[in-house]
Structure 1
Amino acid sequence: MFEVGFWELALVGVVALVVFGPERLPRVARETALWVRKARTMMASVKEEINHELDLQDLKQSLLEQKKLPNTATDNLNQNILRRRQATEILAEQFEPGEAAPEKEPHD
Structure 2
Amino acid sequence: MFDIGFLELLLIGVVGLLVLGPERLPRAARTVGLWVGRIKRSVSGMQREISAQLEAEELRQKLAEQDRKLNAGLDKARRDVERSVEGEPSRREAASPSPADTADPAAHEPVEASTAPESAPPASADKDSTPR
Q: Tell me which interval the TM-score lies in, with the shorter structure as reference length.
A: 0.7 to 0.9
Residue 64 of structure 2 corresponds to 64
**Which structure carries more helix by proportion?**
1
Alignment deviations for residues 66-101 of structure 1 (CA, whole Å, 9 cap, x no partner): 222221111111222333445556789xxxx89xxx
Query: What aligned pairs does 1:25-36 form with structure 2 within 5 A after superposition?
Result: 25-36=25-36
In our comparison, the structure showing a higher alpha carbon Rg is: 2
Residue 102 of structure 1 corresponds to none
The aligned length equals 96
Alignment deviations for residues 29-77 of structure 1 (CA, whole Å, 9 cap, x no partner): 0000000000000000000011111111111111122222221111111
Task: List, as ranges, runs of 4+ consecutive aligned residues in structure 1 with deviation greater than 4 Å.
Answer: 85-92
1:20 to 2:44 alignment: no
Residue 103 of structure 1 corresponds to none
The alpha carbon displacement at 1:3 in A equals: 2.0
Residue 51 of structure 1 corresponds to 51
TM-score, normalised via structure 1 length: 0.73
- RMSD value over aligned CA atoms? 2.4
Larger relative contact order (CA 8 Å, sep ≥ 6): 1
The CA distance in 1 between the partners of 2:88 and 2:37, in whole Å, is: 77
The CA distance in 2 between the partners of 1:70 and 1:4, in whole Å, is: 54
**Gaps spanning 5+ residues in structure 2: where?**
99-132
SS in 2 for 1:2: coil
Identity of aligned residues (%): 38
**Gaps spanning 5+ residues in structure 1: where?**
99-108
The CA distance in 2 between the partners of 1:7 and 1:74, in whole Å, is: 68
